[in-house]
Structure 1
Amino acid sequence: MMDFHSLYSHDFVRVAACVPRASVAEPTFAVEETLALAATGDRTKVAVMLFPELGISSYAIDDLLFQDALLEAVHAALGRLIEASRTLFPVLVVGAPVRHGPRLFNTAVVIHRGAVLGVVPKAYPPNYREFYERRHFSSGLDVRGETISIAGIEAPFGIDLLFRSAGTVPFTFHVEICEDVWVPLPPSTRAALAGAEVLLNLSASNITIGKGDTRRLLCSAHSMRTVSAYVYSAAGPGESTTDLAWDGQAAVFENGALLAETERFATGATMAVGDVDLGRLRQERMRLNTFGECAVDELRRAPAFRSVEFHLDAPAETVPLQRIFERFPFVPSDPAKLREDCYEAYNIQVQGLAKRLAAARAQHAVIGVSGGLDSTQALIVTARAMDRLGLSRSNILAYTLPGFATSEGTKSNAWALIRAIGATGAEIDIRPAARQMLADLGHPFADGQQVYDVTFENVQAGLRTDYLFRLANQHRALVVGTGDLSELGLGWCTFGVGDHMSHYNVNASVPKTLIQHLIRFVAASGDVSAETIEVLNAILATEISPELVPQDAGGAIQSTQQIVGPYALQDFNLFYLTRYGFRPSKIAFLAERAWADPDRGAWPKDVPEGDRRAYELGEIRRWLRLFLQRFFANQFKRSTLPNGPKITAGGSLSPRGDWRAPSDAAADVWLAEFDANVPEA
């Protein structure tokens, strides 16, 4: 079995953007500072360490770059670095001025295990505003297919280099220098299309007011457009301040997201370390067919890259993942982002239903209200849709349909909500019809036996749906669906009935963990009455249950999460299986990272203290295995879903949207991978 607890077993690679202390035009000092950070990277098993532009010589030294003494000292310093790298795990990427023939180039020197893997010249030396690089450096745009000697070692030289690890940590990276990313078509764009997953930028970028935000935006957008990790390092403390100043901003981005950033204006050396999820990047590129088409189109016309192969093997020791993953991938922990997500989700639901009602020329909506989370959210959305259409909320025909296990608490909450919303309420007791149907079926319950099997449960669920659809016929109305994304993922819905079938389901792509926050969002919006807020809070405090089986002798209710698992974990599993296609062992690895320590990372602000608990690997394993079994066994329910709007970037399970799969596929492949690679604890 693989080392389950090591990041290098799960398609991650650790990279670092480094800002060493500088001393103007002192290569010996630069090497010592570089090696001090490299030693830290070696201990923490960083795969690639990026250093600033011209870091070995200093950047802002103007005509000192033409001095033989300095250039020879830089050359000697590179020799020291190359020799010292023999015992180091990381690939080192350092900046230095290098002569080649009659020209001087601003270059990145890529070093690993005593070898120079390659030297990359800056393609676009700037010559505007405060920059005068063309006074000293030649452009590398025409440098392809060449070699260069560094400290007596012949190495590939040019802007046409991709560096590929052929070891047990396989990945490909590309190097560009500062201004190269500011141009309309950066060299790294073509490199990404040619297969580079990690893009490195050695920069000296001076600081002016607002430039820090501009660099973040530039690097973030570039990493998203190229579906890559973008690693950026800028000059920091000790660089010459004759005319400029430096903030030492270094950062790691992954597909638009900031993974790590250094402290700006630090007085000492700093390093931003990020654990890049190569598996996620590869999945995204594979899914985005337009990325591949663009690659084919561009590379057909562009000059070819040369591949420089090196070997980076996973360390023998376990390398724990440092990156924190959201426990609730559908629910951001940042309060401002959560508010924005809830605002958008709520309005997507309202807009979807309003359009469907208008298109069907239906002025009435029928909805079953149970007093649970899903029907509550659906009723709130229906009320706002009526408002948007200029119709009375009394046009909402809301029904409670109590069965054999309906509690007084949920029924009273349902009625309180119907009244608070202003809907037209009514109650249909389904028990007489259920008894008759069970008797017609010859079911033991009809003879007084307490047999609470699936037939007993589904007779109740089916009758509720029958009544709602016939009521819709009677009132020329649409049935509003209530079942959510989590239930569809787990197959925790009865085929062809209320939580599965409707005329339009506003909750179809809203996971259970998000629905709770949507209800809280409405409660806190200021647009609802105190009476409504009170009943919403009561519903939020109610344990999740289908209420189809009566309480046992001890008063215990039918608890959904005791049967199908905690929604917190199952939504996590659903997200990473369907959104990214991760193998089960990686999902378990990420879940343990997210959930094993309740004090690690932020929680969404409305998660009750009592729910801020840990899940150890044993629990994660148990519920993930059940999830895989249920997910594949219940695809036939998802293949016949009614219409409903896509809500989250995590996707929907509609056969017309993000998830299309055969109804008869088995889970064997996924369970085999799970059993082979997820330890018991």
Structure 2
Amino acid sequence: MISFFTPYRHDFVRIAACVPRIEVADPTFNADRTLELLRQGHQERIALMVFPELGISAYAIDDLLHQDALLKAVEHALSRLAEESADLFPAFVVGAPLRLDGRLYNAAVVIHAGRILGVVPKAYLPNYREFYERRHFAPGASIREQMITLAGLQVPFGVDLLFRSAGSCAFTFHVEICEDMWVPQPPSTTAALAGAEILLNLSASNITIGKAEDRRLLCGSQSMRCIAAYAYSAAGPGESTTDLAWDGHGGIFEDGLRLAETGRFPPDSTMAVADIDLGRLRQERMRRVTFRDCADELKVVPGNFRIVPLHLDAPEEALALRRPIERFPYVPADPAKLAENCYEAYNIQVQGLAKRLQATRTEKVVIGVSGGLDSTQALLVCCRAMDKLGLPRTNILAYTLPGFATSEGTKGNAWALMRALGVTASEIDIRPAARQVLKDLGHPFAEGEPAYDVTFENVQAGLRTDYLFRLANHHRGIVVGTGDLSELGLGWCTYGVGDQMSHYNVNASVAKTLIQHLIRFVAASGDVDEDTANILYAILATEISPELVPQDASGQIQSTEAMIGPYALQDFNLYYLTRYGFRPSKIAYLSWQAWRDKEAGTWPPNIPETSHRAYELGEIKKWLRVFLSRFFTSQFKRTAMPNGPKISSGGSLSPRGDWRAPSDAGPGIWLAELEDGVPDAESS
């Protein structure tokens, strides 16, 4: 049985972009260096490896390409590569000049398990600036349904080949060569529409100033358009530098994301290795219906290609995952990207609210301010929206509504923030009304008993919403909601009250882990003075609590995360369940990879030190179980959620947008898959 702790169990396949050291016009030396990397790939359980264009002969050898001795040596080297790789795990592709019917082709040779499987000619030959490939080679763009003899066997030859593994490590890949990627419609586009999931490019690509970034742009954009992995390998150390230079640039991209890259100008052989998430690519192709529409429009079907089979079985042993996993999928670790995301998210919220006010011809908003994260961010958005519309901030009617468990700290922060922002601030003590409601209900608390049940909590939450909606009626305004995406996902919101219901909710698509950074973004933006920024930092330092139940005898407050789990883990679970539809065992595996090591990976800037902790697999499984149970049973709350702008490509839970689901579905099959698919501990 394949171990839970290997990426191959979770729809990953390991690939490599290889840059061997070569010698000019020395196929024996070049085959030796190729075999060295192949043996390394075997040890590292790499399933698919791509080598540079014409790597067996060298690329920059000019008219030596027409020398019979060289071409025979190349053919011998290919036979040797096939023979000596018979017991090696990887399938691999090498570049070589090959003859057929009186023509010479710049070709990619696919080899696995001791057999040459097929040969793909370069479709488009550059013949401009420093390139003059048509002097030596024939173009291959029109070659289909042909065969070529190599190593004593006839094998498929043409641009109409897809290579497909039928083993337990199942995937389909396509091969193109260098210039093929630079043309308006690369051959890999049609191949992807026909089913290729991994696209390989054998390149030589001499280096000039700025060209590396061009390659990244092309590879990344092609992988995104094709919803595929794209592995690119270019010539490196040993190539002729008569008139050109080479930087050995190899890289691996997946749906626009750069996963791995070689160091440039390496002194010796090197390779970039990454685990490709085939499950993610397959989910994306299934969801993006325009991908199939394009295939239909262009009349692309698998029958347009010859399928060349191979058989790869996934390694069963535990392996370390070779790709970065963001601990906070809604919060990028890169500081520049995080700053850009915060700028965009904040302004999306502001634009959404401003438009709603214009559309409803409303000039006032009503908001409850608790001194917690969500209401703080919503209040900041209200202020910026009023500024944008040229309205006074006094049109923001902000209320703190203390209840039985409201602390002096959060209440003080709420008042300090409202005063600092210049809004119309008021306080309504909900306790007298709550006591009356509890008395009318015959609740034990009304008789002096410490009965802190769900009724006790929801009477307070409901009254706050009642007041806010009636205040909005009274002042001809709208209620701005404060509940965030994480709370909606976990059902951590009382049905019909302010964290679920409002006239417009600016936070509805913002995860809890991101809201903290939005507040930091405003605090550091210069749009608020130093005193206001210090208030915001004080709010950020406050433990997350609904403050509906009084402290216990030991002074312990009602902790949200103690009941529903750490938001760091639950936002991770929410993202991968709703964005990609991953099964729970895969989510648990990814979470374990991201969170098992306190020191590994990167952290977004300004994450509190208390968040810098590791989670064991048992904890991850426990909180994922909680998440699944709460997520599915809370759908009815999301079905009735108010309007609010979508913020992140990670998705929203709006029933009019990213997430449409029945309120009657239960978590049974997801919980069963979690229990069956995830061990209780690392040693299991």
| TM-score category, normalised to shorter length | over 0.9
* 2:479 counterpart residue number: 479
Tell me the equivalent position of 1:402: 402
Asked whether 1:649 is paired with 2:668, we answer no
The aligned residue for residue 5 of structure 2 is 5
Aligned to 2:371: 371
Partner of 1:612: 612
1:516 alignment counterpart: 516
Equivalence for 1:329: 329
Match of 1:310 in 2: 310
Say yes or no: does 1:625 pair with 2:625.
Answer: yes
Shift in Å at residue 612 of structure 1?
0.6
Q: Distance in 1 between matches of 2:564 and 2:645?
A: 25
Aligned equivalent of 2:569 = 569
CA-CA distance at 1:319 after TM superposition: 2.2
Q: Deviations over 1:140-169 (max 9, x none)?
A: 122111111111122111100000010001
CA distance in 2, matches of 1:602, 1:211: 29
Does residue 1:585 correspond to 2:592, yes or no? no
Q: Does 1:540 align with 2:544?
A: no
Q: CA deviation at 1:669?
A: 1.1
Given residue 595 of structure 2, which amino acid in structure 1 is its aligned partner? W
Distance 1:135 1:287 in 2: 45
Once the 2 structures are TM-superposed, how far is the Cα of residue 117 of structure 1 from its aligned partner? 1.1
Paired residue type of 1:52: P
Q: Which amino acid aligns with 1:330?
A: Y
Query: What is the distance in 2 between the residues matched to 1:667 and 1:611?
Result: 29
Displacement after TM superposition at 1:318 (Å): 1.9
Per-residue deviation at 1:299?
2.8
1:111 maps to: 111
Which residue does the alignment assign to 1:130? 130
Q: Distance in 2 between matches of 1:318 and 1:561?
A: 32
- Cα offset, 1:132, TM superposition: 1.0
Instruction: Provide the C-alpha distance between the structure 2 equivalents of 1:202 and 1:53, rounded to a whole number of angstroms.
Output: 5
1:46 is aligned to 2:46: yes
**Alpha-carbon distance between aligned partners in 1 of 2:177 and 2:73, rounded to the nearest angstrom:** 22
Contact 2:513 2:571 in 1 (8 A): yes
Query: 2:15 matched to 1:15?
Result: yes
Give 1:67's aligned residue.
67
Using the TM superposition, name which of 128-137 and 577-586 deviates more: 128-137
Q: What does residue 525 of structure 1 align with? A: 525
Per the TM alignment, residue 96 of structure 1 is displaced from its structure 2 partner at its CA by 0.4
Partner of 2:155: 155
Once the two structures are superposed, the pairs formed by residues 590-605 of structure 1 within 5 Å of their partners are 590-605=590-605
Letter in 1 for 2:424: T
Q: Give 1:301 shift.
A: 8.8
Amino acid at match of 1:135: R
Partner deviation per Cα, 1:195-218 (whole Å, 9 max, x = no partner): 000000000011111111111111
Q: Which moved more, 1:338-347 or 1:526-535?
A: 526-535
Provide the residue aligned with 1:206 in structure 2. 206
Contact 2:570 2:624 survives alignment (8 Å):
yes
Alignment-mate amino acid for residue 521 of structure 2 = F
One-letter code aligned to 1:612: H
Aligned to 1:411: 411
Deviation, 1:610, is: 2.6
SS in 2 for 1:371: coil
Counterpart of 1:275, as a letter, is D
Counterpart contact for 2:493–2:500, Cα < 8 Å? yes
TM-score (norm 2): 0.99
Per-residue CA distance 1:454-512 (angstroms, 9 max, x = gap): 11100000000000000000000000000000000000000000100000000000000
The root-mean-square deviation of aligned C-alpha atoms, in Å, is 1.0
Other-structure match for 1:195: 195
Task: For 1:484-503, list aligned pairs within 5 A.
Answer: 484-503=484-503
Are 1:219 and 2:231 matched, yes or no?
A: no
Distance 1:624 1:2, change over 3 A: farther
- The Cα of 1:316 is off from its aligned counterpart by 3.1
For residue 320 of structure 1, report the CA deviation from its aligned partner: 2.0
CA distance in 2, matches of 1:342, 1:415: 25
**Counterpart residue number, 1:674:** 674
What are the equivalent positions in structure 2 for 1:49-448 lying under 5 Å apart? 49-300=49-300, 304-448=304-448
Distance 1:134 1:499 in 2: 67
**Partners in 2 of 1:299 and 1:102 — Cα distance?**
33
For 1:533-581, what per-residue CA distance to the aligned partner results, in whole angstroms no more than 9, with x for missing partners? 1211111111000000011111111000000000000000000000010
1:421-447 CA distance string (max 9 Å, x none):
101011111111111111111111111
Secondary structure of 1:299's match?
coil
After TM superposition, give the deviation of residue 674 of structure 1 in Å: 0.6
8 Å contact 1:178–1:203 — kept in the other structure?
A: yes
Asked if 2 retains the 8 angstrom alpha-carbon contact of 1:7 and 1:321, the reply is yes
- Contact preservation (8 Å) 2:161, 2:306: yes
Distance in 1 of aligned mates of 2:429 and 2:641: 27
Letter in 1 for 2:249: Q
User: Take 1:303 and 1:5, find their aligned partners in 2: how far apart are those partners?
Assistant: 37
User: In structure 1, how many angstroms separate the alpha carbons of the residues matched to 2:337 and 2:184?
Assistant: 31
Q: Distance in 2 between matches of 1:208 and 1:538?
A: 51
Structure 1 residue 609 displacement after superposition: 2.0
Would the aligned equivalents of 1:324 and 1:593 in 2 still touch at CA under 8 Å?
no
Q: How does 1:547-566 map to 2 (within 5 A)?
A: 547-566=547-566
Letter in 2 for 1:516: Q
C-alpha distance in 1 between matches for 2:534 and 2:8: 50
Amino acid at match of 1:200: L
Residue identity matched to 1:634: S
| Cα distance in structure 1, aligned partners of 2:622 and 2:26 | 59
Provide structure 1 residue ranges, at least 5 long, that are not aligned to the other structure: none
TM-aligned CA deviation for residue 221 of structure 1: 0.7
Contact 1:162–1:308 (CA<8 Å) still a contact in 2?
A: yes
AA in 1 matched with 2:502: S
Aligned residue for 1:81, secondary structure, equals: helix
TM-score w.r.t. the length of structure 1 is 0.99
2:21, 2:488 → 1: CA distance? 55
Contact 1:252 1:273 in 2 (8 A): yes
Secondary structure of 2:377's aligned partner: helix
- Contact 2:199–2:229, Cα closer than 8 Å, also in 1: yes
CA contact (8 A) 2:259 2:324 kept: no
- Supply the distance in 1 between the matched residues of 2:34 and 2:322 (Cα, whole angstroms): 23
How far 1:42 moved relative to its partner? 0.3
Distance 1:39 1:9 in 2: 23
Look up the SS of the partner of 1:164 in the other structure. strand
Paired residue for 1:28? 28
Q: Equivalents in 2 of 1:677, 1:308: separation in Å?
A: 33
> Within 1, Cα distance between the matches of 2:303 and 2:283?
26
Q: Equivalent residue of 1:87, what SS?
A: coil
State the Cα distance separating 1:300 from its structure 2 match: 4.7
Specify every segment of 5 or more residues in structure 2 that has no aligned partner in the other structure, as ranges.
none
1:368, 1:375 within 8 Å by CA — same for their partners in 2?
Answer: yes
Which amino acid is 2:51 matched to?
Answer: F
8 Å Cα contact 2:85-2:114 kept in structure 1 = yes
Residue deviations 1:367-396 (CA, integer Å, cap 9, x gap): 000000000000000001000010110111
* Amino acid in structure 1 at the alignment position of 2:427: E
Report how many aligned residue pairs link the two structures.
Answer: 681
Quote how far apart the aligned CAs of 1:664 are: 0.6
Structure 2 CA distance for aligned equivalents of residues 474 and 404 of structure 1 = 26
Are 1:262 and 1:270, in contact at CA under 8 Å, matched by a contact in 2? yes
Q: Secondary structure at the match of 2:384?
A: helix
Equivalent residues in 2 for 1:459-474, closer than 5 Å? 459-474=459-474
Quick check: 1:193–1:299 contact (8 Å CA) kept in 2? no
Moved more, 23-32 or 135-144: 135-144
